[in-house]
Structure formats: structure tokens, C-alpha cells
Structure 1
Amino acid sequence: MGHKEHFAIIDIGSNTVRLVIYAKDQGGHFKEADNVKAVARLRNYLNEDHVLEEEGIKILLKTLKSFKEVTDTYNLQQLLCVATATVRQAENQEEILHRVEGEIGFSLRVLSEQEEAYYGYLAVVNSTSVEEGVTVDIGGGSTEVTYYENRQIKHSHSFPFGALSLKSMFVKNDMPTEQEMDKLKRYLTDQFLSLPWIKNKKVPLIGIGGSARNLVQVDQALKSYPLSGVHQYKMQDNDIGFIKNYLLTLNFKKLQKVEGLSKDRADIILPAIQVFQTLYDVSQASSFVLSRKGLRDGVFYEELLRGVEIDRFPNVVEESFNEMANDFDIDLKHVQHVTDLSMEMFEQFRRNGIGHITNDDKWLLKRAAFVFNLGDYIDSESSSQHTFYMLANRTIDGLLHQDRLKLALVASFKSKSIFKQYLEPYKHWFVKQEQKKLRMIGSLIKFAYSLDSTRRQIVRDLTISFEKDEIVMDVTCDQESMPEEYQVEKQKKHLEKSLKQKVTTNFYYVKG
């Protein structure tokens, strides 16, 4: 296993029991090294008197025993084992904890309702850049809802129903009928309306957990969605309604085969979707966003940042880009210099009304300059293709899919024709004006890169003047600039094409 540090977390839910092992790399970032899941459905063994029956305990012990065989192959720094609704609601909780400790050797921590809700919020706020939102995490036996503003938690509540219990309360057979769905909807509406802080919030609704992930996977499959990854994927209420109605038309056998839906969730997906839809309506959400990070990640962030004074990353996107710098050996001095040059050009273009750029495009320029031609790390010859693929398909915490795609298109810019080729599957995502702007920002960064093609940071000053049909750049360098001049001559045509203007460059050499 090498010299990496490993940490494990086991999450005993009412539907699923899951083990995740994280590895810490040299840069101090964590990656999932292993992810094992067992569908135990413990909820079904909780009887009327709220006692977890012997059969349920045996299933739990058997599952944990098989997990222990996996954790034993790692030299773990730490193993956390947490349990949620079913164990929390069990009258014989003491006995369960005792047997897990005695037979497996794991000490089990039962999360309170408040803790469970808080960890979901913590995961969302540390892995997305949604500043204000309502989070919802449907488990098998409980549903946690929180509201946060300015990344601070304001309210939270744990409802004592989850996808499994709603199914047993409202649905007789495998497939719910229209009447059953209506009854369920009325019940959920009353439940959510009992919390005044949910009403009419008009902020994104952020879904956590397996049911939310399955909903998104079905949406992506139906739309033949071209990007990979579900984290921070965005849907609207009509998408949710469409999927609900589509699934209701199927028989159970067909439902189990739906692309994107895991077979073991087929019987509980419809009650779960009804929860999302009802909450969307009551809160009048602006959109539905999936967070792939949830309870486990929240518990993990807390452990990780224990002793550090913060429990939230100051800036989620910043954190993601630091991680990329680390993963792909980014030359920070070089990218900083190029970013400064790009910003300088950008500001002067913007002030002179060139290229339809606005202040809002600054984030894109800054981020894209940082990862421009990232694909070099894999192969310098096909750097552009690798850059586009890696950025378009890597989950970047804090960026919604559309922003991630913009980043990929700009940072991989090589020429107009290659840009068009990458854009093809996503053309309908952007209006013409936006496409032109992305191309222009890409060609601008490409130009700035040629000003530091030898990575010596020799450009001291850049002055731009705008004549009637040409742009003149005076570049002052403190070293011999021949290689840079050669690159600029070669690359400036891309900028000229996207600006539809001639660009003239004059280099001056000034001794340091």
C-alpha cells in the first residue's frame, strides 16, 4: 500500500451499509481509495416495538465482518463507524453496540438527528459553491432537511420517515398507484409546511444520498448527457416531474432495468422522487442540484479539520484548483505570470469595449489561465485534447457543470476549428455570442502563454494602444526575447481571428 496514510469510515444506514477508504496524498489531499456497499435494509427488521430483530442484527454483523476483512488489508490511521436512523430508533441500541464491539471490534457511534442533518450541510458547503440553499438527504428511515445562508447553517430538522418507511406506509405493491402517490404527496406537503423556515425560500434545493444520485443518473441517461460526473449537476422541477411520470408508466420489471437506476433502489425510487418534488414545490426552489458528498464526507471533514479552527473551507473552488496544481505538477510561477499578463490584456480590452467581455468573465480568465494546457502533463503533442477531456470530465468542487465546460473549452484553446470540434456536442448550451466570447478568452490566454513560452518570466511591461483597425502591443522585456517573439508571431493569428483585428507587437529590451 506504499507510504500513503489511509482513513476509513463505515456508515450504517437504514437501507445501505457502506465502507469508504480515503487515501491522503503528498499534497495532503484525500482521494477515495475504496468504496464498498451492501444493501442490508435494516429498516425492515425494526419491528412495531422499535426493536431491531435478531435477523437484522445478524445481517449487520455479517456485513461488518466482511467489511473488516477489507479494512484489515490496510494499515489504517483511523476508522470511524457511524450509524443513523434505524440504530438510533432501536430500543435495543445498547445490545447492538455491545455486539458490534464484542464480535467485530468496531466501536459504533450513533448520530443524533441534529448531527446527521449538520453533517449533510457540512459536506455540501465544503464541496459546492452554493452560498445559500436547502439541503435534503433521504435515507431509508429518516429525511434530514437544513437551510443555510452565507454558508452558515440556520435551521435543521430530521423527519422520522425515509424512502423505506414511506413505501411501507403508502405503497401496497411494488409499483405505487396514482392514488397512493397523491396520498403520499398530501402527507409530505403537510410535513414540510410544518416547518415555517422551508416555505418559499426560492434558493437551490440540494439533494444528498443515493436516491438523489439515482434521480440524476436517470435524467442524464434520458438526455444522453455528454459530460461525466453527477456532483453539482443541475435539474429543474419539470425534469423531476417528467422522470416521475415516466417511471410511473412502467411495470416493475421494466423499472428495474431503467438506465441510471440501481436495481436495488427500484422499489423505493418513486416515494423518494415525491419527497424531492414536494420539497421543491413547498420551498419554491430555484433549481435542484445534486451533491455527491454527503453524511460520510461531513463526518470526515469534521475529523480532518479537528484541531484546525475551521470546519468549512474558506473557498471551495480555490481548494479544488490547489488540488489540481498538486495532481498535475503545475508550475506556479509560470501560471501566475501568464495570469497577470492575461488579466492586463483583459482589463485593457474590456475598457476599450473589445471582444464583448464584462467583469463577470474575469473568474473564467483567471481559472483557465491557471490550468491552460494542463494536458501537457499527459502528452505535449496532444495537450489540447487531454486538457479538454480532463477538465470537462473531472469533478471540480465548486463549479457547476456548465462552468466546468466553459473552463475546459477556454483552457484547451488551440484553434478555431478544434474549439468548434470540442463544442459540437454542447452547442445548444451556449448562444452564439457566448461561444465567440469563450473563443476570444481562449485565444487571449494562448497569446499570453506565448509571451512566457520559455518560462523565464521576462516580460516587465505590456502597453496596448488601440488604433482604428489594429491593436498595437509594446512589450518590454528584461532579457533577450527572441524565442518569445517567435511564438507570438506564430500564435497571434488566433487572437486576430477572434477579434477580427490586426495585432502588431513590438518588443523592447531593457536591462534589469
Structure 2
Amino acid sequence: MAKITTIIDIGSNSMRMVVLQKSSRFAFHLINETKSRVKISEGCYENNGNLQELPMQRAFNSLKSFLNISKSLKSRKVICVATSALRDAPNSKVFLTRVKKELGLSIKIINGEKEAYYGGVAALNLLHNNEFVTIDIGGGSTEFCFIKDAVIQKTISLDIGTVRLNEIFFGKGNIKEAKEYIKKNIEKIFELGIDIPKVAVGIGGSIRAVTKVIMKNRSYNLDVLHGYTYTVQEQKDLISRIINANNSDELKALGIKKDRFDTIKEGTFIFNAILEELKIEKVITSGVGVREGVYLCDLLRNSNHKFPSNFNVSVRSLLDRFEVDSNQSAYFGNNAAKIFEVLKPLHNLDDKFKTFLIVASKLHSIGTTLNFYKVNDNAFNFILNGLNYDFLHTSRVIVAHTIKFSKKSLPTKKDLFEYKELLPSLETMQWMSFMISLNLMINQDFSKPKVEYELDGETLNIKLPEYSFLIESSLDKLEKPNNLNIEIL
């Protein structure tokens, strides 16, 4: 696969492009993301599904600009897919032929099931969850991918997109008919004969816009959409306020951006109807979708479109680009696991914290690459936004804080106040701080010593291969949790 790859997705409402760069066999990161609201399907549902000249010209012009960006970034591979608008249009060949002839770009029209599959592949690989349904609301259709035990079970596409329903129902004030149309279409899901998960992964611009309103309303302090989770019951009132907003001023006051005014009410209406009919209890917002799914199907074509077990693409990508020494990173990770296990009778933490400790220990050194001074703060700020995939918000905040407090003193309640909503107890974070600090101190001369640990009551015995004044003097200053004692042998 090419080192730099461009994926373009032509939807009914928006055309989107991502440019992704590989850093190793399976790891990659985003180097460009561009969106254009071309509304290629505008007017088509009132004209027997035919694409209209002006929207086609907008789409053509945007594609030309997208390809200029791709070329400038030295992308060696371009994959372009088109969804509902072009697959439904009787005259789509006119547009496809012109693009191929004048821009040299082949557009692949994918069916609804394939579109749903791509969304499922993206969510399955780039979010930590094993059972959910993806809901991808577009301009012409909405796609669903049902996943159980980390395996894609079924996919389905329904003709209930925002642009389609606006032209057929909403624009004419036929709200009741729209609700009945959506409900009738959703019956096709129940005919699949599968168990409906209680968790939905929301994909697409409309759902992300709803999430932004929820985050603003809660004064949420982490400005990251991907992985943001909320319960449907808690947000019922806010969702209703979006649907029932009377004008653009009310939408603006809720936090809706101007470029969403024309579709947000319809999109939220569709989303709410789906949540009600499927009895969804929790929503996880996805920052990835069809484009990332297309990329992953290409990248993982020889591994059943799934990453290897225990592979974390964000961690690997950051290490590929910023780690100082791969051998040192590996040592810190292994030593973190040993420290966590030997102290388990005292800290009693769930094994997920072992994973967080290992990740934090491996990533600690990237702060040095950014700037040697204030290394912990550099890494903290970078990690909060740098762990783009695989991590829910609680996970990335725990990892970032573990790195930030990898120093002699333990964090206080005041230190954790800003992100208290996403952090575990103070005692837990003090244990995490102590364990990573101990880990870094043991290898502060980068000699990767073969250390043995043994817990005797509340005393941790550390057996070093040879005496180290650096380690001994540092440990004397290290604040320890719960009256823990340390003896160096």
C-alpha cells in the first residue's frame, strides 16, 4: 500500500477527503482533512432522481481542488467512492464520464450495504467496543452495521437521508408523514432477525453536530468528538430543542454552526426517530466513517479487515514518529507491567489500568522530542489530542495524567480537578503516578537493568543487578502511596 493515500467520499450533501500517511506496517496518521458542502443531490429527488447541472458543477470544481491538495501532499494513491446520490441517479454516468475524462479520476459507486460495511470496519477498528450498531445519517440514506462479539453480523441501508426527506416531506411541512416514512423503513431492520444492541456508534455530520451541542451544554472540557459517549435519556430534552428550534437564531444559540442550519433539524429528527425505534440507550460519537473504512479495507486486506489483537494504531503511530529509542520504550513498557503486577495486592486496580500504565510509560519520552523542558506537560497536552483512535475519553485522559504526574510528588485532588469528570479516584491516580515514576527512576541512566520485584507485606523489595547511587537517592525523595515502604537489595 502507498505510504500516502487519499480517500474521497462523495455524499449527497457533502464531499469529504482524508489524506493518511503510513508510519509502519499498520500504523498511520491523518495529514489532511477537507470538506466541501457541494450538495450534489440538490433538486434531484424532485426531478426523478436526476442530478442537476449546478450541483454537478460544484462537485466537479471541488474534486479538482481536492486532487490539487492530494498532489501537493505527494499522495501516490487516490480512492474515490460515491454513495446514495450517484447510485440513485439515472444520469450519474454523465458526471462520472466527465470526471474521468477531465480529471483522470475513476469514481467507484458503492451500494448501501458496502457503505454500511465501511462504517462498521472503521468503528470496529478505531473504537474500543465489541457490540454496537453504527448509524450513519447522510443526505440520501442512512446506513446501519450490526456488530456482535467484534464481528460484523449484518448491514442495511435505508432511504431516509436528510436531503431526501427535506425535499419529499420536511420542505412541505409534512412532519407526521416523515415520521411514518421513517418508522416504516426501520421495520426492515427488525425483519433481519437479529438482536438490536443497546449501544449505537453515531457517524456522519448531523450526529457529530448534535454531539457538539451536548458537549457545549455540559461545558465539557475535552475538545474531542471521537469517542464522546452519552446516554440517550439524559439528552432527550436537548435533542428535542434542536428539532423544535423555530429559526436560525435559536439554532445558533444552541451551538449549531451556520453551515448546518439547512439540515440539522432534519438530521436530528431522523436520529431521534431511529434511537426511539431501536430503543438505543447509549451513543458513542465516531470521528471516523466511510473514508477511514475504505482506507482500512485496503490496508488490512490480508487480515480480514481487522488489526492484529492488542494492536493500538494511535500508540504505534506516535511511537513511530516521536519516540526517542524503541528499545527504551519497550523496556519501560515491560517494566511497567512487572511493577503493576507485584503491587496488585495493594492497589487492587482493574487490569485496564495496567494497559494505561504500559501505554503511558512507552509514550512518556515523546515529550522530550517536542521539547526537553517541561517534558511532562508537553506530553500531557499532546496526548490529550494525539491519541486519535482506539481510546475513549476516559482512557486518554488517564494516560495523559499518568504521564503528567510521573514525578517525585503524588497528584492532589486540586491537580485533578479540571478533568475530574473523566478520571477515577484520587487514590487510583496516585498509584498510577507512583508506579510510572518508579518505572522511570529505575531506568534513569537508560541501562535497562534487569530488576526483580518482591512484595513483603507493605514493603516493596527491589533487587538491582548492581548498586546505583542515582536510583537510591531518587527513591528517597519519591512520595509513596498508602505507607508503602521500599527496600533496595
Structure 1 length normalisation: TM-score? Answer: 0.86
Please name the residue that 1:487 is paired with: 474
Q: Which runs of 4+ in 1 moved over 6 A?
A: none
Please name the residue that 2:287 is paired with: 292
- Which of residues 444, 457, 464 in structure 2 aligns to 1:453? 444
1:198-230, Cα deviation, whole Å (9 max, x unpaired): 876243200111111111111112222111211
Q: Is the 8 A contact 2:135 2:203 kept in 1?
A: yes
Matched, 1:363 2:345: no
Matched, 1:505 2:461: no
Question: What is the alpha-carbon distance in structure 2 between the residues aligned to residue 67 and residue 335 of structure 1?
Answer: 38
After TM superposition, give the deviation of residue 130 of structure 1 in Å: 1.1
Matched, 1:424 2:417: yes
1:2-28, Cα deviation, whole Å (9 max, x unpaired): xx9432222211001223323344777
Q: Secondary structure at the match of 1:224?
A: coil
Q: Secondary structure at the match of 1:52?
A: coil
| Worse overlay, 187-196 or 155-164 | 187-196
CA radius of gyration, larger in: 1
Q: Secondary structure at the match of 2:312?
A: helix
Matched, 1:38 2:20: no
Q: Is the 8 A contact 1:134 1:145 kept in 2?
A: yes
1:233-278, Cα deviation, whole Å (9 max, x unpaired): 1121134423222224543231453465332221211221222223
Q: How does 1:285-434 map to 2 (within 5 A)?
A: 285-306=280-301, 308-315=302-309, 318-351=312-345, 354-372=346-364, 374-413=366-405, 414=407, 418-430=411-423, 434=425
Question: Whose relative contact order is higher, 1 or 2, with alpha carbons under 8 Å and at least 6 apart?
Answer: 2
Matched, 1:58 2:52: no
Matched, 1:218 2:209: no
| Worse overlay, 30-39 or 436-445 | 30-39
Question: What is the alpha-carbon distance in structure 1 between the residues aligned to residue 252 and residue 414 of structure 2?
Answer: 34
Q: How does 1:54-93 map to 2 (within 5 A)?
A: 54-93=53-92
Matched, 1:437 2:428: yes
Change (3 A) 1:45 1:274: closer
Question: What is the alpha-carbon distance in structure 1 between the residues aligned to residue 332 and residue 73 of structure 2?
Answer: 43
- Give unpaired runs (5+ residues) of structure 1: 508-512
| Alignment size in residue pairs | 485
Paired residue type of 1:189: K
Q: Is the 8 A contact 2:361 2:403 kept in 1?
A: yes
Q: Is the 8 A contact 1:229 1:394 kept in 2?
A: no
Q: Is the 8 A contact 1:409 1:419 kept in 2?
A: no
Question: What is the alpha-carbon distance in structure 1 between the residues aligned to residue 343 and residue 33 of structure 2?
Answer: 49
Question: What is the alpha-carbon distance in structure 2 between the residues aligned to residue 427 and residue 365 of structure 1?
Answer: 19
Structure 2 length normalisation: TM-score? Answer: 0.90
Q: Is the 8 A contact 2:42 2:52 kept in 1?
A: no
**Identical aligned residues as a percent:** 23
Change (3 A) 1:33 1:344: closer
1:454-473, Cα deviation, whole Å (9 max, x unpaired): 1212243222212xxxx333
Question: What is the alpha-carbon distance in structure 2 between the residues aligned to residue 189 and residue 393 of structure 1?
Answer: 39
Change (3 A) 1:343 1:104: closer
Q: Is the 8 A contact 1:231 1:395 kept in 2?
A: no
- Give unpaired runs (5+ residues) of structure 2: none
- Which of residues 275, 281, 291 in structure 2 aligns to 1:280? 275
* Aligned-residue CA RMSD (Å): 2.7
Change (3 A) 1:140 1:331: same
